[in-house]
Amino acid sequence: MIYRVFLFIAFLMICLVVTGFVPLFTDTGSGSWYDQLQKPFLSFPGSLFGSVSMLFSLLIAFSGWSIWHSQDTKERRVALLFWIVQFILYGIWNGLFFVLRQPGMALLEILLLWFAIGGFVIAAWKVRRLAAFSFFFYWVWMTFVTLLNLNIWWQN
């Protein structure tokens, strides 16, 4: 039992480091690069990214941890591979969009991320449905972020 709790904390800390690392180098406040971009009326303040990232860090960690503790099958290994790939792609997207300020490149990359998230949801559904269901909300959020990224690239 202690091992499972420790492993969940490890999954959570890894997720928080990735989602919390980029905001340290990102200025989304008033007068910042992000603040000055032309955005659609459905956009939100840049400060919301950090809060939402924390919530999804918890869901991402839970999903990965939950699959990790499932019976070792081919489906489990595929789900874990998608989890790792989407995790890496999420970090790259944050870097491209917020640090390098390249919404066009970030848009191309986020499409890969979106498919990797979908791959995880589909693969995880066969292993542990609660993990897939938890990740589904992240997929919906990233769909919105993808559309926002597209609109920002288009308008700027």
pLDDT of residue 47: 67
pLDDT of residue 61: 94
Is 33 within the bounds of a domain?
no
Question: By the 8 A CB rule, do 145 and 106 touch?
Answer: no
pTM given for the model = 0.89
DSSP string, 79-103: HHHHHHHHHHHHHHHHIIIIIS--H
The DSSP output letter for 30 is T
Number of domains in the chain: 1
Tens digit of pLDDT per residue, the chain (156 long)? 788 898 899 999 888 887 766 666 666 667 778 888 888 877 777 667 667 878 888 999 999 999 999 999 999 999 999 999 998 999 899 889 988 999 999 999 999 999 999 999 999 999 999 999 999 999 999 999 999 999 999 999
**For the range 128-135, what are the long-range contacts, defined as Cβ-Cβ under 8 Å and sequence gap of 24 or more?**
128/66, 128/67, 128/70, 130/66, 131/62, 131/63, 131/64, 131/66, 131/67, 131/79, 132/63, 134/59, 134/62, 134/63, 134/66, 135/59, 135/60, 135/63
pLDDT of residue 28: 64
The sign of the torsion formed by the CA atoms of 15, 143, 77, 84 equals negative
Encoded tokens for 8: 């969940």
Is 15 within the bounds of a domain?
yes
Is 75 within the bounds of a domain?
yes
pLDDT of residue 21: 64
Is 88 within the bounds of a domain?
yes
Burial class (CB in 10 A: 0-12, 13-18, 19+), 1: exposed
Q: Which domain holds residue 65?
A: 2-24+47-155
Is 81 within the bounds of a domain?
yes
pLDDT of residue 117: 98
Is 36 within the bounds of a domain?
no
Burial class (CB in 10 A: 0-12, 13-18, 19+), 120: buried
Is 96 within the bounds of a domain?
yes
Is 34 within the bounds of a domain?
no
